[in-house]
Amino acid sequence: MRYITIAASVKRDLVKKGAEADIFITNWYGKKAITKVRAVKPYRHKSLDTEIRRRRTIHEANMLSVVKTAGVLSPFVYFVDPVACEIVMEFISGKNAKDIMNARLSLQIGKYAGLLHSKNIVHGDLTTSNFIVGKRLVLVDFGLSFYSERLEDKAVDIRLIKEIYSSAHFASFESLFENFLTGYSDIMSESGTRKILEKVSNIEARGRYAPHADEAQKFKHVI
């Protein structure tokens, strides 16, 4: 027998098909909403795949709520369907940060990163595409987020946003990254930010990424 769960039975319009999950716009009891469904991975054993998707769905829903306690705005979760591996959440109206990046916005993004890291939360996909700017700045997509006290895990977040700035926003890279670090150090302190930047440099030196420069030295005037 095939069970049709509450969330899965709601009419949906596909807006994005990703490697990890599909994103739909739907109507949830009269409210415009977003629903995220983790897709079946046929290359995995069926029972293993079901359990992985179920756990990741529950984990992401929990993280969407937990980050609010850190002061980071995220979509409100309406419903979690562990059987369908689906999260129904608030639709956030606004513009994608990647399309309207400026120094002030980068400062806010830096503060959000600092707030997460101050609570030992690593986003895992900290890019300008995952920030929505409306009446408020909202951070989305916590599918890769996790808890960690390790400086290196936090440094990977910083390294990723830095790489996004240097590629998608290359014309304003230094200004944007400086403002990001200013916002970040407002939360994490100057000494804490230096330690993170040293880890970023270590990661680059090991060859995982193409190095830009020694972060702790290049941006020391910011922190």
Please give the positions annotated as active site: 125
Place of tokens 């806010």: 108
In eight-state DSSP terms, residue 30 is T
Q: Supply φ then ψ for residue 137, to 5 degrees.
A: -90, 125
Cα separations (Å) of 63 from 7, 72, 120, 152? 20, 11, 12, 20
What distance lies between CA 120 and its chain's CA centroid? 14
Residue with tokens 């991975």: 41
Q: Which residues, other chains included, contact 66 with Cβ-Cβ below 8 Å and sequence gap of 6+?
A: 121
Consecutive H or E run containing 176: helix 173-188
